[in-house]
Each structure stands twice: as C-alpha cells, then as structure tokens.
Amino acid sequence: MSGIQTSWPPGTECVAKYNFQGTTEQDLPFSKGDVLTIIGVTKDPNWYKARNPVGREGAIPANYVQKREGVKSGGKLSLMPWFHGKITREQAERLLYPPETGLFLVRESTNYPGDYTLCVSCEGKVEHYRIIYHNGKLSIDEEEYFQNLMQLVEHYTKDADGLCTRLINPKVMEGTVAAKDEFSRSGWALNRKELQLRKIIGKGEFGDVMEGDYRGTKVAVKCIKHDATAQAFLAEASVMTQLRHNNLVQLLGVIVEEKGILYIVTEYMAKGSLVDYLRSRGRTVLGGDCLLKFSLDVCEAMEYLEANNFVHRDLAARNVLVSDENIAKVSDFGLTKEASSTQDTAKLPVKWTAPEALREKKFSTKSDVWSYGILLWEIYSFGRVPYPRIPLKDVVPRVEKGYKMDPPDGCPPMVYDIMKQCWNLDPVARPSFRLLRERLQQIRAKDIYL
C-alpha cells in the first residue's frame, strides 16, 4: 500500500473497512464503518495520523481505511439498474445474449400498457413473465404481491418460487450505475442494522423524516419508500456527498434497502426549521445580534455553494435548520443542481423565486441571491410569509414592475439596503454571496444591530 495513500491531505475523510484494535498507545483503535479524519502523515507511508468523531487522535494503518469520495454519477445512479423501460421482446432477448442462466432484466410490457415483463435467461432461452399491476400492487403468479419492482426482484433473487430459475445476475441498462454499489464504493453506505429509528419528527409528500440513532449518535433520517421518489432523492444524496461546510446540513450516509426503501441519514438539528424557530421565539427572545448571525450563517453556506458552482434553487427559511448550538444550516438539496441547468417551474415557490427563474427557467447563483433577499426579510420579520396582503396571483406581475417589499418593523436600514440589492430585476446587477457576506460582517463589526 505504500506510496498510494501519501496523496491524502489533512482533512480527508475515510471509512474503516475493518476493525483495528491497535498494538501501541500511539495507535487509534476503530471499528469497521467508523468515519475518521486524516490529520497528517507519519514517517511510515503505510500509516496515517487520524482523529475519530469524539476527538481522539492516533496512528492508523492506511490499508484498513477507504477514502470517502463525492458521488459524481448523480443522473446515472439507479435503484433499478436492471429496468430497461420501453424495449421490445426482441430487444430484451438480444440484451440477454449470450445466454447465461439467471441473467435478467425488467421492461415495460408492449402488449399490456401499464404492466411490466420480467425477462430471464434460462438454459439457453429467454422466458418472459408478465408482471400484473393489480390494486396498486405487482404480481407474477397472483399469489405473492409486492409494493414495487424492487421488492419483486429481491424476492425472486432469493427463491425461484415458480420461475424457471432464481434471478442471479442483473443485466444493467447501459449508462446506469447501481446506486447501492456506488454509495459503497465511495464510502457513503451505512449499515441498516446499526440504525435505530425512534420517532417521526416531520412528514413530507415523499415520506417521513425520523429521529434516529446510528452507532450512538443522534441523527435525522429521511425514509423514502416509493420507487420514483426514491430515485429522485438519489440525486439529492449524491450532491450532499460532494459538499462539506459548517453551515450546510451534513450527510452522514445512505442506506439502500433491497425492499425499495432509501434512507438518507444526516446530522440531527435539534431546534428545527429556522422559520418555526423565529415564529416561536419572536423579538422578545431574539435580539438583533442573533438575527444578524443567522443571516451570516446562511450567507456563508451560500458563498460556499457559489464557489463550488452549485445552485440551491429553493432557498427559504423553511429549508434552513437550527442546531442545538444555534447555528443555522442550509438543508434540502432536492433541487440543487450544478450551475446553469434548467428545470420544470410548475412546483416552484413563487414568492421566493427570482423573476427570470419563473419566466425563463434560468437558475443561477444570482437567482439564489434573490431568494436570499427574501430569506433576510423572513429573518427580520420573525418568520412572516413574504408579500403580506398581496394575493399570490398578483405577486409576480407587481415584482416584474419593480415592486419591493417594505422593510420589516425594526429592520436596520443597512440590512434593508442589502435586501433591495438582492431584488434587482437584472440578475447581473445583484451582489455575489461573497460581497453580501463582507457587507454583513461590516455591519456586525460596527455593532449596528438596531
């Protein structure tokens, strides 16, 4: 292993592949699955100096750990790499050639729209099994029923159960990568057996957010059960593996369960969303210094995204969480994309989205700056809904004519000036997050909170 690991700089995260007891007092013992941070090299290139999550430091053997990498195949990651969509019976047979017993794929049924077909190579020929969609469940023999294709495939990989053979080897669709394999390869796969789910702390259209425990650490867990939704959330998880900043909610890892459930495990944020925090405490509890600190926390996270060419697209106080130590952290990377891509605007939050993003689907760091101006207004109004007393249908026409919200009661004029600069109709004229952060720091240095 010598010579390979020496390129890992201090700050690199790695995951333990094996247990290590340590043989001297200088060693740092660890268990398989522990996340360690490299803090330096040793005289021996086969050993690193590292720190564990509770701050203990020591030497670790390089060949016992795997570097954690960002997952970069976002669009190509698949929970169902064996699903080939709309292909014909003949195309399926060509894909399963040369014959290999147990090689399989699933396609959409050509004869029965809405149903699927399981195609399995068995003793030199391909068998086609119709998967019937009945009362929201799937079945081949109308004896066993499954919630989704992943559950069905999982069942028949364990037992042939009436098929010509059990499913042994998936024929992966060209251009896709099995999500489970990719998260394992890059060091982000967690062990389901070590995750305990405690209680529901939030509900969304995609599934529940639960408080959990992973190896003694309190965590938040998004549990996503539906095929298509889980597939969409893979992109969020893969984006989160590439981002690390104290003001971004940190991904701890991902569990892809065979039964078709995706768990996204993140750090636990004890005080909930910023908008609820502001509303429940109000101006009697939160002083100007606290509001300015939240503003800066979010700005620093967004400056980091800006520097790394990521666009958040859904920045709002509801998508910022507050930790036990009162640190605000940006979350919800469901819409985050590498800069300069477009998306469907039907589901966008109108009051927070820049005019050019609504009109032309043009998303950029500058459209995030517009949203940040709205978020500042939310902070200084203690969580009020933006554009009060204006009907939703009138917001966009008025904004496009140059309308800007009045300052919230008690908002410092210098902060309101920043909001107005964020709401410039010309995206090019809006300040960068770096400039916004510098201005907020100047306000803080002058001690001008009120």
pLDDT computed for residue 232 by the predictor: 76
Name the band, by pLDDT with cuts 50, 70 and 90, for residue 333. confident
Average pLDDT score over residue span 255-273:
90
Point out the least confidently predicted range of 36-40, 70-74, 117-121, 281-285. 70-74
Q: Is 161 a catalytic residue?
A: no
- 114 pLDDT tier (thresholds 50, 70, 90): confident
Contact 41, 6 (CB under 8 A): yes
In this prediction, residue 218 has a pLDDT band, given cuts at 50, 70 and 90, of: very high
Output the pLDDT for position 339. 44
Q: Is the pLDDT of residue 450 over 60?
A: no
Q: How far is CA 303 from CA 150, 272, 310, 365, in A?
A: 39, 23, 10, 9
Instruction: Determine how β-strand 169-170 pairs with β-strand 103-108.
Output: parallel
CB 39 within 8 A of CB 47: no
What is the reported pLDDT for 7? Answer: 66
Structure confidence at residue 72 (pLDDT): 74
pLDDT tens for each residue of 16-52: 999 999 999 999 999 999 999 999 988 888 999 999 9
Report which of residues 403 and 4 the model is more confident about. 403
CA gap 152, 171 in Å, rounded: 16
- Check pLDDT > 60 for residue 335: no
What pLDDT, on a 0 to 100 scale, did the predictor assign at position 74? 56
Predicted pLDDT at 334: 60
Instruction: Please provide the average confidence, as pLDDT, over all residues in the chain.
Output: 90
Q: In the numeric block, which tokens belong to residue 306? A: 């800006």
Q: Is the per-residue pLDDT at 77 higher than 80?
A: yes
Question: Scanning the structure block, which residue is given the tokens 């410039």?
Answer: 424
**Residues 280-288: what's their mean pLDDT?**
91
**How sure is the predictor about 112, in pLDDT bands with cuts at 50, 70 and 90?**
confident
Specify the range with the lowest mean pLDDT, choosing from 227-241, 300-314, 317-331, 355-369: 227-241
| pLDDT for 307 | 96
8 Å CB contact between 64 and 16: yes
Q: Do residues 14 and 187 lie in contact, with contact meaning Cβ atoms separated by under 8 Å?
A: yes
Q: Give the mean pLDDT of 196-225.
A: 90
> Is residue 6 over pLDDT 70?
no
Measured torsion, CA atoms of residues 385, 386, 391, 394, in degrees rounded to the nearest 10:
-160
Per-residue pLDDT at 346: 54
24 against 235, higher pLDDT = 24
List 227, 297, 314, 332, catalytic entry: 314
Q: Give the pLDDT mean for 420-443.
A: 97
Question: Residues at the annotated binding site for ATP?
Answer: 222
Helices (H), 250-364: 274-285, 288-307, 355-360
Q: Per the annotation, where are the binding residues?
A: 222
Q: What is the pLDDT of residue 229?
A: 75
pLDDT of residue 3: 39
pLDDT at 2: 38
Classify residue 83 by its DSSP letter.
B
